[in-house]
Chains A and B, each alone.
Chain A
Amino acid sequence: MATIEMSNMKKRYPNGADVIRDVSLSIAEGEFMVLVGPSGCGKTTLLRMIAGLEDITGGDLMIGDRRVNDVSPKDRDIAMVFQNYALYPHMSVRDNIGFALKLRKTDDGEIKRKVEEAAELLGLTPYLDTKPRQLSGGQRQRVAMGRAIVREPSVFLMDEPLSNLDAKLRVKMRSEILKIQRRLGVATVYVTHDQTEAMTMGDRVAVLSKGDILQCDTPQNLYDHPVDQFVASFIGSPSINMYSAQLSEGAKFLNIGGESVELTDVAHISHPSLASYANSRITVGIRPEDLELVDKGTPNSITATVELVEALGSELLVHFNTDAKAVVVEGVKDEEETILEASGAGVARIEPRASVKAGDIIGLRPNPAVMHFFDVNTELAIY
């Protein structure tokens, strides 16, 4: 068991591309740290740098109290789970799990005991003598886990280990991985592009974009207090609605599209800096669940046309259009999603039995207490 300490880590490829700009992050003993970000943000590169599969261009990497920048992967006392599992195809499950122990010349009886223990924990006992190709995706994933835990490493590294599983299995494996990690108490770095996975698994979550860590905090803090537009729109599903807005009468009212919403004292207390933006243009972010369905024309509400209603049983997702100008954060989503959400579109999460259908004109009243405000130029959050 050990801590991981990254200070000013950099990675530059020979062609001059900076993949990791300047990352400092410390991971405590037993902590489950998730690195999350859109594809190409450098999260996998960062993980591979910790593993020793990529050189570190600058900065320091400490595992425990040892600087491991120039230590080969095998001497870093880490175990890694790969996206495609990377099982040894010619070895049985037993040999796959026990391979690292065998390389360390562990006693045969000891290997057998540890492998069987791990297999028991992962429900792989019946498959110990089968080859990986005879296993299902979920089973292969568990073998990869087994290979990692049997070594009792001081650090676990996981590179999108669940991305090849179907949705149901993914949810199940999520909790299994967490359970195992809690039980072993080993510091873990987990890479994913799926914000739900990040939120549900991480003790802390580091959001990366373009080679930088934008924010690293507990999932709830990321959700409630994002540092900027990028984090706000990356975390949360469906993602936050962001509109261009104008503060008026000082900072008493917020004009969104043609409508005006009164900012109550609560908003000002939780966002004291808002006063300095009096009468200026800002970006407002409203989470889908912070919109309340009201009659059209209700004071402090936004008029919206319902485009589509998704009934999820426990809630309704109302996709709507408004006059307000939507602010789209670049790089967060795929191109297709961006097209769908162009100009004024938004989502509200409302109670399941409301009678709303496509084509209705409704009022949506945002809750000023939990609104997010962003500087138009810096895109940083205003608190």
Chain B
Amino acid sequence: MAVVEVADEAKVDPSAKQKPKVNKQFRDRNQIMLARLGWRFTTPALVIVGAITIFPVVFSIVLSLSNVNITGNGFQLQGFTFSNYSLLIHSSEWRYSLGFTVFYTFVSVFIEVVLGTAFAVLMERLSKGRGPMMALLLLPWSIITVISAELWQYVYQGTYGVLQYLINSVGFGKPVILGTPTPAIIAMMAADIWKTTPFVSVIVLAGLVMLPSDVFEAASVDGCTPWQSFWKITFPLLRPTLSIAVLFRILQAFGVFDLPFVLTSGGPGTSTTSLAILGYKVMFDNLQFGPGSAVAVSATLLVLIGCLAFLRAFRTQVNGGDL
């Protein structure tokens, strides 16, 4: 990357034209050597990335486009086909999963960004104790999802769950939280929001402390109330930061797997089956490798398209170009 940048700079540099030819040749040779050196340094990393990232991705695509036949010795690829994808599009399970994943992503990311920003604004106003508060806030984020999902399981569980006990003790009966579709979805989102709001907070807080303080003073002299100051100054200036937080969260939330896997295994029925859970079930429970890969590839493609669209819409913000 650095090598490319050096070359670009040399191209735009207007003084470069006036330099003698010998010098230019020397510089070109130097750059070629630098480029070679760059390749030599990055090759080991590229090989590892290729082996553990690019190969599985490519192999998934190949699987999703093949007739996969299970045999006693593993599986065989028997020719190219689109049938795996047409199976998906016509399957109500896939469509439900897609709808659920999109809904889950939008709602939980929206709530996380709102809450996370609110926490960040509060934390920024703390004159002291910001460090310990931050550590406390980061606790949920630092717990591995599988563990935190297990912890939430204790809260939601039917026989000894805390939440059910509390609801019962205020006289609302004993709802079956994880066993009823809507409560299960809400419960799962609550667990996700609990865990990832701190992540958004930390990113937004980092953005907040970077904002120039005199601009806010100018706004207060100009007549802004604190509320106006937030919406007319803080929010627009935070947009690059918020965009990055949203992008990260969309990527993570769209691929959500561990939380529903531990909490509900995608149930009750298929009500909390995200695309990742569906792909896993099709592939490893039903051993349908072709359709399973198609689910994975479709999920990847969709989130990729979503992110690219988001980046396009918010490009200036993400680049900080608006500042």
How many whole Å from A53's CB to the nearest CB in chain B?
5
Residues of B within 8 A of A80 (CB): 217-218, 221
Taking A86-B212, A86-B215 as contacts, is the C-beta distance between A53 and B220 under 8 angstroms? yes
A window 76-121: CB within 8 A of B = 78-80, 82-84, 86-90, 99-100, 103-104
* Chain B interface residue bracket vs A: 10 to 19
A73 interface residue, CB < 8 Å from B? Answer: yes
Write the chain A residue with the least CB distance to B225. Answer: A74
Please tell me if the beta carbons of A86 and B217 are within 8 angstroms of each other in the complex. Answer: yes
Interface string of B182-214 (1 = CB under 8 A from A): 000000000000000000000000000000101
Distance in angstroms between the alpha carbons of A99 and B229 in the assembled complex: 12
Taking A86-B212, A86-B215 as contacts, is the C-beta distance between A79 and B223 under 8 angstroms? no
How many whole Å from B317's CB to the nearest CB in chain A?
10
Interface string of A29-73 (1 = CB under 8 A from B): 000000000000000000000011100000000000000000011
The one of A82, A88, A131 in contact with B233, judged by C-beta atoms closer than 8 angstroms, is: A88
B237 interface residue, CB < 8 Å from A? Answer: yes
Distance in angstroms between the alpha carbons of A91 and B323 in the assembled complex: 9
Among B217, B218, B220, B233, the one with the most A-chain Cβ atoms within 10 Å of its Cβ is B218
Please tell me if the beta carbons of A74 and B224 are within 8 angstroms of each other in the complex. Answer: yes
The one of B212, B214, B221 in contact with A74, judged by C-beta atoms closer than 8 angstroms, is: B221
Residues of B within 8 A of A147 (CB): 218, 222
Please tell me if the beta carbons of B217 and A100 are within 8 angstroms of each other in the complex. Answer: no
Distance in angstroms between the alpha carbons of A11 and B22 in the assembled complex: 67
Residues of B within 8 A of A133 (CB): 323
Write the chain A residue with the least CB distance to B214. Answer: A86
Chain A at the B interface: SS class: loop
Please tell me if the beta carbons of B223 and A103 are within 8 angstroms of each other in the complex. Answer: yes
Please tell me if the beta carbons of A104 and B322 are within 8 angstroms of each other in the complex. Answer: no
Please tell me if the beta carbons of A104 and B217 are within 8 angstroms of each other in the complex. Answer: no
Write the chain B residue with the least CB distance to A99. Answer: B222
B142 interface residue, CB < 8 Å from A? Answer: no
The one of A72, A86, A90, A104 in contact with B218, judged by C-beta atoms closer than 8 angstroms, is: A86
Among B223, B225, B322, the one with the most A-chain Cβ atoms within 10 Å of its Cβ is B223
Please tell me if the beta carbons of B222 and A89 are within 8 angstroms of each other in the complex. Answer: no
Residues of A within 8 A of B237 (CB): 89-90
Please tell me if the beta carbons of A74 and B215 are within 8 angstroms of each other in the complex. Answer: no
Please tell me if the beta carbons of B220 and A73 are within 8 angstroms of each other in the complex. Answer: yes
* Chain A interface residue bracket vs B: 20 to 34
B236 interface residue, CB < 8 Å from A? Answer: yes
B319 interface residue, CB < 8 Å from A? Answer: no
How many whole Å from B234's CB to the nearest CB in chain A?
11
Residues of B within 8 A of A82 (CB): 214, 217-218
B252 interface residue, CB < 8 Å from A? Answer: no
Distance in angstroms between the alpha carbons of A131 and B222 in the assembled complex: 19
Please tell me if the beta carbons of A79 and B228 are within 8 angstroms of each other in the complex. Answer: no
Residues of A within 8 A of B224 (CB): 74, 103
Residues of B within 8 A of A78 (CB): 221
Residues of B within 8 A of A83 (CB): 214
Distance in angstroms between the alpha carbons of A52 and B236 in the assembled complex: 25
Residues of A within 8 A of B233 (CB): 88
Distance in angstroms between the alpha carbons of A53 and B215 in the assembled complex: 12
Distance in angstroms between the alpha carbons of A51 and B217 in the assembled complex: 10
How many whole Å from A162's CB to the nearest CB in chain B?
16
Please tell me if the beta carbons of A79 and B323 are within 8 angstroms of each other in the complex. Answer: no
How many whole Å from A281's CB to the nearest CB in chain B?
49
The one of A72, A89, A104, A131 in contact with B220, judged by C-beta atoms closer than 8 angstroms, is: A72
Residues of A within 8 A of B323 (CB): 89-90, 133
Residues of A within 8 A of B232 (CB): 99
Residues of B within 8 A of A99 (CB): 219, 222, 232
Distance in angstroms between the alpha carbons of A53 and B221 in the assembled complex: 8
Residues of B within 8 A of A72 (CB): 220
The one of A90, A103, A131 in contact with B228, judged by C-beta atoms closer than 8 angstroms, is: A103
Distance in angstroms between the alpha carbons of A82 and B232 in the assembled complex: 19
Please tell me if the beta carbons of A84 and B221 are within 8 angstroms of each other in the complex. Answer: no
Distance in angstroms between the alpha carbons of A99 and B220 in the assembled complex: 11
How many whole Å from A339's CB to the nearest CB in chain B?
34
B window 251-300: CB within 8 A of A = none
Interface string of A245-286 (1 = CB under 8 A from B): 000000000000000000000000000000000000000000
Distance in angstroms between the alpha carbons of A100 and B217 in the assembled complex: 13
Residues of A within 8 A of B215 (CB): 86-89
A window 295-346: CB within 8 A of B = none
B→A interface (CB under 8 Å): 212, 214-215, 217-225, 228, 232-233, 236-237, 322-323
Residue pairs across A and B with Cβ atoms less than 8 A apart, 10 shown, are A53-B221, A74-B222, A74-B225, A84-B212, A90-B236, A100-B223, A103-B224, A104-B223, A131-B322, A133-B323
- Shortest Cβ-Cβ A-B pairs, 4 listed: A86-B214, A86-B218, A100-B222, A74-B223
Given known contacts A82-B218, A90-B323, what 16 new A-B pairs fall within 8 Å (CB)?
A52-B221, A53-B220, A73-B220, A74-B222, A74-B224, A79-B221, A83-B214, A84-B212, A86-B214, A87-B215, A88-B215, A89-B322, A90-B322, A99-B219, A99-B232, A103-B222
